[in-house]
Amino acid sequence: MSLLDKKKLQKPKPFLKWVGGKTQLIKEISQLINDQFSTDLNFTYIEPFVGGGAVLFHILANFTNLNNLIINDLNLTLINAYQLIKKDYQELILLLSEIEQEFYNLNSLEEKKVFYLQKREHFNQIDDHLLPLEKTVLLLFLNKTCFNGLYRVNQKGKFNVPFGKYEKPTICNQNNLISVHHYLEKVTILQGDFQETLNYAKKSTLFYLDPPYKPINLTSAFNSYASTNFDDQEQIRLKLFCDQINDQGHYFILSNSDLKNFDQDNTFFDQLYQKYQIKRVKARRNINSKGDKRGELFELLITNF
């Protein structure tokens, strides 16, 4: 699709709701990027923890000259969804529309809950490698109908989020899926460890790193996007990865939780990234199980420029 044709599309938006998504921080992240790169500059963009892709889609919509973009995530189910939308979006839209209509035709929330739980059980039985299309359809359905759009798995890797009690959520956003498809045409999609993405860096490369956040207190621990947790040792390994990015002359922006929200003496990130720039920005988070712990918090944006 030509640039002229793309102007007829809506701007792409994340096709999944995603815990910790960066939609709220786009303004601050965008300002950091614009301070370093002009919108007409052709640089390499790499996102090792793509998640819901809020920053990716902002980059695709606003830096239209970019032609070397790489995204990655450890979550195979998620990456299969990106790859399917890039390659086979028409069949995906057809099947997603069908399951949306089935859900709408149910008469009560109790019937919808039963339907949801049946689809969740089926989702957990599907092998990502054997039936990626069917798994992706169910991923998008569950994401739009589960509680708060969470993606959480247990230690066995099984999706276990409860029903969200929505009457008529938008399950198949056809216009956005078409837009996402066309914008993903120039994106290289990887699945694996974040470390491997360094192999794709070229001269003038920007990394945006949005790892599973370190919990700010005992009730906020939510980083179970995979059956293995992103613990403190992984946070330290990520910092060493940022050192490699910096030493090779590339740029990075990293987001993470601000542990000082609840403990002013917790300097884990302040010490770990002491040689880099640390900015505290406001964000609103609504995933805590306790209502009084939700609301406006600070998060970190860490850069080497």
Report d(CA 276, CA 78) in Å as an integer: 31
Q: Is the pLDDT of residue 129 over 70?
A: yes
Is residue 36 domain-shared with residue 151, that is, in the same domain?
Answer: no
* pTM, 2 dp: 0.91
Instruction: Find the angle CA(85)-CA(160)-CA(180) to the nearest 5 degrees.
Output: 15
Is residue 71 domain-shared with residue 189, that is, in the same domain?
Answer: yes
Is residue 188 domain-shared with residue 151, that is, in the same domain?
Answer: no
Structure tokens at 115: 């339907």
Is residue 32 domain-shared with residue 64, that is, in the same domain?
Answer: yes
The answer to whether residues 51 and 210 touch, using CB atoms and an 8 Å cutoff, is: yes
CATH number, domain at 106? 1.10.1020.10
* Burial of 187 (C-beta count, 10 Å sphere; 0-12/13-18/19+): buried
Q: Is the pLDDT of residue 294 over 70?
A: no
Is residue 185 domain-shared with residue 299, that is, in the same domain?
Answer: yes
Is residue 190 domain-shared with residue 46, that is, in the same domain?
Answer: yes
Is residue 197 domain-shared with residue 48, that is, in the same domain?
Answer: yes
Q: Mean pLDDT, the chain, as a whole number?
A: 91
Domain boundary among 147, 174, 201: 174
In sequence order, what DSSP letters do the residues of 16-47 get, joined into one string? S--TT-SGGGHHHHHHHHHHH--TT---EEEE
Q: How do residues 235-254 score in pLDDT, each as one tens digit?
A: 999 999 999 999 999 999 99
Is residue 167 domain-shared with residue 185, that is, in the same domain?
Answer: no
What lies within 8 Å, CB to CB, of 145 at 6+ separation is: 103, 112, 116, 163, 164, 166, 169, 171
Is residue 95 domain-shared with residue 141, that is, in the same domain?
Answer: yes
What length does the chain have? 305
Domain that holds residue 114: 83-174
Domain boundary among 174, 208, 224: 174
Domain boundary among 133, 155, 174: 174
Rounded average pLDDT over 267-289: 86
The dihedrals phi and psi of 178, each to the nearest 5 degrees, come to -65, -45
Q: How do residues 70-102 score in pLDDT, each as one tens digit?
A: 999 999 999 999 999 999 999 999 999 999 999
Which is nearest to 126 in space by CA: 157, 103, 152? 157
